[in-house]
Structure 1
Amino acid sequence: MIDVDLPTEGRNPRTLDLDTLPTLDVLRMINSEDVTVPLVVAAVLPQVAELVDLAVESLRRGGRVHYFGAGTSGRLAVIDAAELPPTFGVWGRVVAHHAGGPGALQQAVSDVEDDADLGARDAADVACGDIAIGIAASGRTPYVLGALRASAARGARTALISCNPHTPHGGDVDVHIGLATGPEVISGSTRMKAGTATKLVLNSFSTTLMVRLGRTYSNLMVSVNALNSKLRTRLVRILTEATGMDAATCEAALNEAGGNTRVALVSLLGEVPAARATTALEEADGGVREALQRLRTA
């Protein structure tokens, strides 16, 4: 029976004979459940969009995005935040707080998720105008709720990503993204469908946030800087794809820009020196298209 108050803990009627099946059939059963996850995520995209727009406004005003989670939810948050700097060149603007700290990433610390006061303490550096996003499959993890309450008290906007659409705490936040993933293949094992759905939401949220902030040009990663020879080769290729110019021209522009890909791109497309491209980007809050538009209308 599915617990309507905690659907991820319910028993899945489709997997009752899981332990009697041969290996391939077990895998097929898991896969058939996983197939439902993207449709669940599709149903909450309006709420994800609302959260992205709040985060865009916050970051443009100098704010930050904070993730709070415990267990699998916290680990997924750490992964998402850690991957943004090398992909989009954004450092310290999206930060993850995991219950129990770094030690709990590799080895579970079970009691910390029940500590609402710990969540409040971990939210100490949340500022007015920031965005605090709690991640909890159950929608009621005390650590997460404590962090969200403390963040709201400091004037931050708050959101909850859960796999419990009917959690009573959904009304306590500005945006509730309630994923109806239902019972897991293994009852209560929320690292499975719930974890996958959460990862998809975080991927979609943070990537769209970076796109809206102008950290891409078309579908190219133009916010990565040339920190080593491997990256330099990749970035020259990105510049050739974005501009249609030859590799030698693009490499020269990248050198003039001090390895800054966006400066090189604006310099090439705007036909201006690197110094002018830098100024245009600063005036456009880092957005390549807006910087180019400013150059055209100057």
Structure 2
Amino acid sequence: MPSGTSETRDEHRDAAERGRPRYAYLGPAGTFTEAALRQIASPDGAVFLPQVDVVSAIEAVRTGAADHAVVAIESSVEGSVTAVLDTLATGDPLVLQGEMIVPVSFVLAARPGTGLSAVRRVAAHPHAWAQCRRWLLQNLPDGVHVPATSNTAPAAAMATGERELGFDAALVPPPAVEAYGLVPLADDVADNHHAVTRFVLVGRPGPVPPRTGADKTTLVVHLPSNQAGALLEMLEQFAARGVNLSRIESRPLGDSLGRYSFSIDVEGHVDDERVAEALMGLHRVCPHVRFLGSYPRVDTPHGDVRPGTYDADFLAARAWVQALRDGRAH
């Protein structure tokens, strides 16, 4: 009887989840990633699938275990999340379909009965530790970092009641304190109180979202050669067409030393004439260009469109060349 009851519950759960979009994210519940996910989906209308790391979240989309993934891609303090960049750069193609920004600060939390003076070992995700390094040095100068797989993994571990944890307290997101029955030892822990993390929505390739006028396009590009000037040749494809880059960084290809690909965010949409022309230029001169999507951006573009690079300018120039071919212009 109990077994049958459990099976019936599972069937009801599966039926309730059927047809709802499935989102993989870095768990367990209460992470900043979940906060980003909740900006675009509600647990009432979607299935949230917590994962142990960002690579597992992305791979869940590739295998079909999830329809989408939400992962951190860039911190205003620590820079890009290289595991995400590298996972998106290889393997079956995936695309970015949107982005979210979440303000980041932490609470130093522990089990009830633990005081700040008793804290020697602090569990924290490496990015959390880096964003609180100066605060920890000032307030816990003898504190030892115990790496965690996510910002709420230590909170979940403390909630289990296990006696031996290997740490005394943890840096966790504020909502995790109450959710996991912890006590705050220090609030608003951060070196930079304006820190934010950018998250992206990852999905399988399909129709590109319509341009909004404030868009971003993400690419992975390999240099045309290993000769002097190869990087300039690649960058000229953007500069000549008035395309502004909001982020560019090199990542090792991994097959030998000294070989790199470039992860690039450009301001604009693939439907913008200047961006499309730049992509065609890259396709002509670079051995590998991976399009990771055009999607609405959540912040303000950093650069203005340069005169002569508006859509109308490209269309007028193309019409003039066609007129030359037809003998209608000189």
The structure that has the greater radius of gyration is: 2
Q: Same fold (TM over 0.5)?
A: no
User: TM-score if structure 2 supplies the norm length?
Assistant: 0.28
Structure with the bigger percentage of strand: 2
Relative to the length of structure 1, the TM-score reads 0.30
